[in-house]
Amino acid sequence: MAQFDEARLSRIKGWMQSYVDTRRYAGCSALIAQDGAEAFYHECGLRDVENGTPWSRDTVARIYSMTKPITSVAIMILVERGLVHLDAPLSDFIPEFADARCLREGATDITQTEPCDVPTLHQLLTHTSGISYSFNPGLVPQAMGEDRLDFWPGSRTLEQVAAALSELPLVFKPGTRWEYSVGIDLIGRVIEVITGKSLEAFFIEEIFDPLGMNETRFSIPNGTEDRFASMYTPLSGNSFDLNSAQKSTETLNLADSLAKTPFKASKMHSGGGGLLGTIDDYLKFTEMLRCGGKGVLSPHTINFMMRNHLSGDIASMGPSSFAEQPMHGMGFGIGGAVILDPARAGVPGSVGDFSWGGMASTFFWINPVHQLSAIFFTQLSPSSSYPSRAQMKALVHGALM
């Protein structure tokens, strides 16, 4: 196993500081562990520009889509117990999806649909279900945006938004394409139906408590309000409205803060993007995956999750959607992306790297070849604003000797 060159590893500090100095990120932190031991940690900048509060290791941040791997682990716990199988149709758990319809090829109106198969749980987990996100292009995403069907934090519940989403058609026939979606939010609702518990309660009982993730929750954890980071955007409008994004002359426009955040007491347990947490909590999760489950799941189940579940790479399935990772040379497993060919992906790494990110520019990856867990935290939306993920991977792999 390759070790790190400390001088090369320290380059990450200057790189992070450059993002802060140029007001691209307000603040950020990076944490790298190798074979279970901490190899690097650094923080810089502010978690609240308006009040001048420094970014710290215990900063509570929105991890958004880095919630998806946690929800994926949760459903695999139920699979291991024989309570569900991945080829089960969604309608077995959410009956509103029973009469599935999808847009006809070339549809110009959302009413131009045809019958199709009900998506399976496996298709929901791998973004091949025909479900979408409002920030993707197209008729259905536009309707999702109008009705706020992206499972945003707030007063509506997972059950309510899932039922409303069932009234829209699918974008394509399940299994025929890849499109980034709220499918894993629907998996969260499936977990609630099977267990009779709220998604958060199941997470706490089966994942958070066993791993000691005591500051990862769907609302700001009690006693951590003063550590909650503000979120910023370089856009002039909504930081999630990628279809009509307009750059602003100000690179750090306040998008969400403790004073107005819906995360103070959110009823929405968004399995696709709702969790808040600390960088050390998330390291406990990535280390569980890297180490083969640590009793949360079997090593064989973890290996199954971290394999490519597509017929080729993501690009071969013709996506037009936003995604948190490259699409060429990149497959998709259960809850995260899998490197098939680093050269085609255009980012240094190893075959088998498992990763995903969040809309506020957070990111993690696990390298099974070098036994690495690497996590980057910041709070800037959208995550497509800067190439920090590829840059950090290059810095880390450039430091391996």
* Per-domain boundaries in the chain: 6-62+212-399, 76-195
Q: Is the pLDDT of residue 38 over 70?
A: yes
Provide the H-helix boundaries in 58-104. Answer: 68-80
Hey, do 6-62+212-399 and 76-195 end up sharing a CATH topology, with the first three levels equal?
yes
pLDDT tens track for 145-202? 999 999 999 999 999 999 999 999 999 999 999 999 999 999 999 999 999 999 999 9
Inter-residue contact 212 to 158 (CB < 8 Å):
no
Q: Output the pLDDT for position 326.
A: 75
What's the mean pLDDT in 280-308?
98
76-195 classified as CATH 3.40.710.10: yes
- Tell me how far apart the alpha carbons of residues 91 and 82 are, in angstroms, rounded to a whole number: 18
Residue among 329, 263, 376, 390 at smallest CA distance from 13: 376
What's the mean pLDDT in 212-229?
97
Give the largest CA-CA distance in the chain: 60
Fold topology of 6-62+212-399: Beta-lactamase (3.40.710)
pLDDT band at 241, cuts 50/70/90?
A: low
| Sign, Cα dihedral of 186, 188, 191, 193 | negative
Give the DSSP letter of residue 3. P
- Tell me how far apart the alpha carbons of residues 164 and 155 are, in angstroms, rounded to a whole number: 14
pLDDT band at 240, cuts 50/70/90?
A: low
Q: Output the pLDDT for position 321.
A: 63
3-class SS of residue 208? helix
pLDDT band at 245, cuts 50/70/90?
A: low
Buried b (16+ CB within 10 A) or exposed e, 118-142: bbbbbbbbbbbbbbbbbbbebbbbe
pLDDT band at 237, cuts 50/70/90?
A: confident
3-class SS of residue 11? helix
Provide the H-helix boundaries in 236-385. Answer: 279-290, 299-305, 342-345
Q: Is the pLDDT of residue 313 over 90?
A: yes
Inter-residue contact 362 to 284 (CB < 8 Å):
no
